[in-house]
Amino acid sequence: MANDMSRSAAQAAQIPDKRHGHSRGYGGPLRYVQGPGVLDDIGSYAAALSDRALVLMDGFVQDTYGPRVTEALEAAGVTVTALRFGGESTDAEVARCTEAARAAGVGMVIGIGGGKTLDTGKLTARNVAARIMTVPTIASTDSPTSAIGVIYTEDGVYVRVEQSPRNPDVVLVDSDVILKAPVRFLAAGMGDALSTWYEARSNLDSRSKNYIAGGYAPSIAGIQIARACHDTLMRDGLAAYDAARAGCLTPAVENIIEANTLLSGLGFENCGVSAAHGVHDALTVLEPTHDFMHGEKVAFGIICLLVLENRAPEEIAEAVTFCAAIGLPVTLADLGLAKVSDADLLRVGEAAMDPASVIHSVPVPLSPQKIAAAIRAADATATRLTGR
């Protein structure tokens, strides 16, 4: 997911709105454009939205692509206020960016970089009633397409989710830029994307609301997109990983960029998430996990979800084998938790049981003890399957 779904967004997802009844809801970005070199087209898409833009960029992105982006925007008649992202999507950072956007009188916010940059850009745009463009430079999360932004502490501990009233107007994905990033980012994106169908199924079984506005029943379109995400990963994931490691932009890599970004983004927002992200969120109470990317922790959370739901051994083995093949964590040791105590796992279980956590979309009774046991059991199963 999105980044993570919990608290306010989860509450919106699970509290039925009487106006909605049994209505179905579907949402997504207005435009999604992906391909090699499309970053140079940013001006034409931006100019259709506003002639004044706040451009929020990661430090590396600003140093590497900043002049290219500014030139393309200004050539299209867009006045640019460039701002360097502070590194963490905190309340203070959103407030700083909001102040800069108001001072510049912008009608559009463009976030360029990783998921936290994009989330901060989306929330900034919401705060100043501006249009939104997201330009991911890595395919490690499904944040770019959603209306959701995640807030963390300065130390990277999950705090809450906030929702914007609209999805991005344009999502611009330059596959050449994505390919230049370390392959670890692409693999992490596959971990996040792999959760899409498993968690959609949880929400369907528990009849939970999706994350569109106040929460609706999933549409056929949303469900099928979540399935297509899984099918694409199973077909092209390993080939894309190998090609990306070799620096080759193949059709498989393009398909996985789309799966990680568009299919997973639409799938989670239109169907919902559950224990893979619930475990991810709760694991942030253990400091060693802060060194790992969102999708890497979600990958381990998938195995925990499948154990909680007592899914078929073949399905668990498929997920473990796939994740291990692309270097994703599948055991506690992989997450720096080789010697984690039962007491610490119970802390994770207690954090996961927060009333607003998305873990409650799992269609089975839960308790802190059951969650802690599922984490330990998932580790044991993955250890046996991988021989680690």
Q: Which residues are annotated as a binding site for NAD(+)?
A: 58, 115-119, 137-140, 146, 152
> 87: how many CB neighbours lie within 10 A of its CB?
14
> 341: how many CB neighbours lie within 10 A of its CB?
9
Catalytic hit among 169, 230, 277, 360: 277
Q: Are 350 and 265 in contact, with CB atoms under 8 Å apart?
A: no
CB-facing half-sphere around the CA of 91: CA atoms within 13 A: 6
Question: Which residues are paired to 80 by β-bridges?
Answer: 53
Q: Indicate if 192 belongs to the active site.
A: yes
CB neighbour class for 64 (10 Å; exposed up to 12, middle 13-18, buried from 19): middle
Catalytic hit among 169, 174, 281, 294: 294
219 to 5, 29, 139, 144, 150: CA distances (angstroms): 19, 16, 26, 21, 25
Alpha-carbon torsion 260, 265, 266, 272, what sign?
positive
DSSP run (H or E) holding 198: helix 183-206
Place of tokens 């039925």: 16
Q: Are 39 and 68 in contact, with CB atoms under 8 Å apart?
A: yes
* Token pair belonging to 258: 């789309």
User: CA-CA distance, 92 to 90, in Å (whole number)?
Assistant: 5
CB neighbour class for 152 (10 Å; exposed up to 12, middle 13-18, buried from 19): buried
Which residues make up each annotated binding site for glycerol? 142, 192, 277, 294
81 to 86, 98, 105, 116: CA distances (angstroms): 16, 12, 10, 19
Q: Which residues have a Cβ under 8 Å from the Cβ of 40 and sit 6 or more positions away?
A: 68, 72
Which residues make up each annotated binding site? 58, 115-119, 137-140, 142, 146, 152, 192, 277, 294
Q: Are 10 and 357 in contact, with CB atoms under 8 Å apart?
A: yes
Catalytic hit among 192, 236, 334, 379: 192
Could you give the residue numbers annotated as active site?
Answer: 192, 277, 280, 294
